[in-house]
Structure formats: structure tokens, C-alpha cells
Amino acid sequence: MSAIFQNYARYPLTFVKGEGARLTEADGRTFLDFGCGISVVNLGHCHPHVTQAIQKQAETLIHTSNLYHNPIQEQLADRLSRCGFGGDLFFCNSGAEANEAALKIARIYGNKKYEGKRNRVITLQNSFHGRTYMTLSATGQEKVKKGFEPTMDCFVHIKQNDFGEFLSEVKKGDVAAVMLELIQGEGGLELISRDFLVEVSEYCAKYDILLILDEIQTGFGRTGDIFAYKHFGITPDIITMAKGIANGIPMGAVMARREVAEYLSAGTHGSTFGGGYLACAAAMAVLDVMTERGFMQDVREKGDYFIGKLNEIFYQTEVTVHGTALMSGIKVPGKQKEFIEKCMNNNLIVIPAGNDVIRIYPPLTVTYEELDEGLALIKKSAAEMGIGE
Ligand SMILES: *Cc1c(COP(=O)(O)O)cnc(C)c1O
């Protein structure tokens, strides 16, 4: 056994090379990767434009800290701001750090603007927001908190899509923010209802409660837009992002309305590595590709095709199809582990979510031939389990 913590249950696979939608195992087998890490390598492995940007930046400048101006960080902020709702950006290194920062903003906003009277945050049952103390406390899934109690007591987890429960919490008058995932990634591809989101958004705007959207998994193309909130016709106060932002180079970010972001004044928050040159160069290259004309349209079309075919494969079986665009998956009650292992034996990588769901996340750059190949492997794996016979 190596000198590594035993905090991960790893699959018995060791990848040594990646290209596009393909991974090569140490034993020489090639896999079709419909996981992209966990929706991180959304442009496929070693995307040439991103690799080139990383190489070029690595030869020029990698780190100076946030003691000094950083032009590429400023350019990236401007571009992300334009892709979103025109807010200001803070950069860190992971999803948990992005949520941590967003929740600190909510706390200081409630404390300063409402004399300490607003300090609670509403999140959803079954949500996932990260593994730091603040973010595991925000997380609705009990298994993430287990053994780490006492957690922070400023969170309440309401039922998804239950506006009545939302109202009874906010009416207590001490709520600073609500933090939501639009599609629960870790929670098993549960899509939020548009009506609920619109009602919450309108209430928040009216009573100055901050609406924070955790777009760490939904962001960067998986739903067919840079940010998933664009599909819902609402505007949040804060969004958090990470995973796909730099195609595998660690980075997290928070976008907040300027009047909200201003509450994190000089010296109140920071990150040594956050927004460094290398990660920013990678993120700029990701945006170059994702904002190309027609790119997201193509993702939506491929997603529709793929989900349509999944529905055909599993028509009138115990398996149901979930998700949107290329944030897709299937629910296989009681057979999640077995199905994933079957797929792996057939050289296809997919990833678990919740207890019964399998996330199928092809790279956004996947070809129709690769989608068909993956569909054939999914069908084969299902048949080997006696599903769809
Ligand atoms: C992955 C994820 C996080 C945590 O991100 P890390 O980079 O692992 O800290 C938080 N929220 C959501 C929705 C995620 O998918």
C-alpha cells in the first residue's frame, strides 16, 4: 500500500494518457471517457488549444500572488462577467473554496447591511456544496456531514421545489441567502422546477435575500450554455463555478453583483494561488473554444440526440433517463454499482451519483460516431444485466 490517505474508494484502473474522448489504461486498453473526470475535462483530454495555452504560459510566468496586478486575471474576469450577468469575479482553486467565498459574502452582507440580524442560509435537501466545514454544513446530504459534527448551525435544508417551506423559513426574518443547484449533480440529476426557481428568485429580489447558484457542475457547457441559469430566465446575485472552468487545471470562481461583491473589501478574504497566471491562461483558452459561434448550439443538439437514443434503449425497462443536454444520466434502482462495472468491462467510463443514478457526461467536443459507440456499449452492458431483453 502506498503512503496515500485511504479516503477514496478507487476503481481498479490506472490511466496513463488521454486524448479527446479517449483514455489509455496502463495495460494498453483504450476507454471511451463519458465522465470527463467529474465533469472537469469538458473539452476532452489534452485539448490542443488549452494545452498550447498552458505551455505558452508556463514558459512566460506562472505565479506572482495577488499582491500585484494580474492582467490575465482581469481579462478573464471581464470575459466571464460578459458570459454571465455582468458581475465582478473572485478567483480561487476549487468548488468548495468558491462556495466558501460566496457564503462568506452572504454572511458579511447580512451582518453589515442588517446589523447582524440576517445570518442564516437556506439550501436544499440532498444538495452537495463541498467538503470544507462551511460547505459541508451547507450540504444537504447527511453522509457528507457524518462524523464531523458539530457542523455550522446557520443552514437549513428545505425540500426542493417546496415554495411553502421556503416561505416559512424566510419569514423568520434572519435569512441572508439561499443557495441552490439547478440540477443536483452529486444528488442524482434532480432538475429544479422552473416555477419554484422563479418564485424564489422574485421573492429574493423583493426582500434583498441573496440568490446564490452553485453552478460548479452545471457550468461550462454541460447543459448547453456557459451557465445553466440562462435556461431559466432569471438572474442570480451570485454564482459559483469550478470543475470545467479550466479543463483540468484547478480553479474556482465566484461572480457577484458589484454592490454585493463590495462587501468583501480589501483584506477580508483571499487566496494565495487564486487566479494565478497558469489557471487563468487555461480558462481563457476554454472560453475561446466555448464561445465560438455555434459551439453551444452543437452541444444542445448532441445532447438531444444522445438523450433521445438513451430513451430508445431503455424504453419500457426499469431504467429511466434523466438530465439535459450533455449533463445526462440514467437511474438504475439497486444496480448502480453493477452497471458501472459492466460499462468499465466494456471499456466505457461513466460515474455514479446518489444511490441509483449513473452520470453519463461525454466531453462537449464528442463526435456523433463516439456518441453512437458509447450508446452501443451502454446497450451491451444493459443486455449483459438482462435489462431491455
Ligand atoms: C464538485 C462540486 C462541489 C465541490 O467542488 P470541489 O472542487 O470538489 O471542492 C461543489 N458543488 C457542486 C455542485 C459540485 O458538483
CA of 84 to the centre of ligand 1 (A): 19
Confidence at 388, pLDDT banded by 50, 70, 90: confident
Rounded distance, CA 221 to CA 219, Å? Answer: 6
| H or E element, residue 336 | helix 336-345
Regarding pTM above 0.95, the answer is yes
Domain spans, the chain:
15-33+293-384, 49-290
Instruction: Write out pLDDT tens, residues 67-85.
Output: 999 999 999 999 999 999 9
Does the Cβ of 102 fall within 6 Å of ligand 1? no
Alpha helix (H) ranges present in 92-217? 95-113, 133-138, 142-145, 163-170, 194-207
| H or E element, residue 352 | strand 351-353
Q: Are 113 and 125 within 8 A, CB to CB? A: no
Residue 326 has pLDDT above 80, yes or no: yes
| Closest residue CA from atom 6 of ligand 1 | 95
Does the Cβ of 95 fall within 6 Å of ligand 1? yes
Average pLDDT over residues 202-209: 98
Q: How many residues does the chain have?
A: 389
Nearest to 279 by CA among 41, 54, 47, 46: 54
Q: What is the pLDDT of residue 389?
A: 67
Does the Cβ of 242 fall within 6 Å of ligand 1? yes
Does the Cβ of 126 fall within 6 Å of ligand 1? no
Best residue among 93, 180, 216, 359 to mutate for probing ligand 1, ranked by most atoms within 8 Å of CB: 216
Best residue among 93, 128, 189, 357 to mutate for probing ligand 1, ranked by most atoms within 8 Å of CB: 128
Does the Cβ of 124 fall within 6 Å of ligand 1? no
The domain covering 15-33+293-384 belongs, at the CATH homologous superfamily level, to Aspartate Aminotransferase, domain 1 (3.90.1150.10)
385 CA to centre of own chain? 31
DSSP state of 253: E
Angle at 353 between CA 247 and CA 241, to 5 degrees: 35
- Torsion angle, CA of 360/300/128/310, rounded to 10 degrees? -30
Average pLDDT over residues 46-69: 98
Which atom of ligand 1 is found nearest the CA of 96?
9
Grid cell digits, residue 65: 500572488
CA of 150 to the centre of ligand 1 (A): 21
Does the Cβ of 185 fall within 6 Å of ligand 1? yes
Rounded distance, CA 282 to CA 84, Å? Answer: 19
CATH topology of domain 49-290: Aspartate Aminotransferase; domain 2 (3.40.640)
CA of 140 to the centre of ligand 1 (A): 13
Average pLDDT over residues 318-324: 96
Rounded distance, CA 338 to CA 41, Å? Answer: 25
